[in-house]
Amino acid sequence: MNTISQTSRQLRTLQLLLGGMGLAVITHLYGALPSNSFVCNRHLSDKQRRVASASLRDSSGASGLAVRKPISGSRQQHTSAPFGTSAIFKSLLQPVVPFACAIALALSSPLQGNMPMTSAAYAEEMLGVEEQQSVGIFERSTPGVVFITNSMDMLELDAATRTLEIERVPAGSGSGWVYDSDGHIVTNYHVIQGAKSLMVKFIEGTEVKATVVGADPASDVAVLQVDLPSKSKPLLKPLARGSSSPLRVGQDVYAIGNPFGLDHTLTKGIVSGVGRTFNSVGGRPIQGAIQTDASINPGNSGGPLLNSRGQVVGMNTVILSPSGASAGVGFAIPSDTIQARVGNILKYGYVKRPSLGLYLGADGMAKRLAGVDGTIVAGYQKKSAGGKAGVRAGDIIVQINDRKINRLNDVFAELDEYQPGESVQIKLLRPEVQSDEVQTAGGTFEAFSLSVKLGEAPAETL
């Protein structure tokens, strides 16, 4: 409940009811109001007149002002005045009635100074439409956002005993969000990287230990598990999930997290860009990232990015800033990517990722050695899918399906669209072959294509 001094709809209604009751009592005591009583009535709003009229109907049983009802015969039966007033005294009181009406209304005004008001009533009364939307999104979503702290073991020298002891110390913190009612929490891999102990704190203060279900460093996604007793199960408030593919530049987004340890902080911004690419902590590119100017700071990592419906459309991950604080350029992993990675982790404990089974050279090497864009095959991995298909060391991969390969990230980006067991078409340049030759600045190359059935990459686990 909030106590405020401003006038509220509920308090105005109470004021009108009290004023109407005052009118009804005065009319009942002193009979029909004189014609000049309309002065009081005309200063009332339509709403006040309706409320006053309704109150009088309740007290007199008739619409409008209470009147003396005639009875049979030529004479009227008058109810004696409470104080035995004569007709002359009544006539003296008649001009006072309009002022009594005003006093009755005024007496109720002080009540509105410190009356309690619910949050919903306050929002409806005092906030604009956009503000109500922001408040509503925060109040519905914030119970599903958690604060994650991790700790690491460090060797400390005990000055008294001169011995080394293992001490668990805080290593970092971040945010996360409730994925489902089974106790799964989604966050960034870099939030829990290297942790020996993880604690998850809910909005009302409950802290519980968490275990790692699985993680994918290549996409910076991790899934935790919390086990709550039955009485604490209601703390699990899964957030609604939406698709990131329909996002448009300019639409509103909301970030909830724990920047600098300030738990459950809301910031608002817009989608500044879509289809961005940045490298994960595992060195692999994250495709289709969402750029936003919603303020994201250290501690926001792992928190949800919400659309105006309160649906998770991304997970706040990194910022571009010379100072390490928000500079208006933040990136979130798209929810479609999160959904796919979390699904794999919950099913297998890791992300099943396709692989060519090849070791590839650094960016720019093909350009320097052969004068062409592409990536050079430096060797084979164990049970290499590419080796089985006929790829050789020294070959230059210039295209996979319809995607031109200019750098290593282009290979990863294309393979991320497939599953192990599916096939891709690779275009290669092979040096020092005498048929179908292609002359380049670095020598003579044969251009040809191979179909490669993708294998499964080694599991990336903690």
Chain length of the chain:
462
Catalytic residues: 190, 220, 301
- Long-range Cβ contacts of 2-6 (<8 Å, 24+ apart): 2/116, 2/117, 2/118, 2/119, 2/122, 3/114, 3/115, 3/116, 3/117, 4/117, 4/122, 4/126, 5/112, 5/113, 5/114, 6/125, 6/126
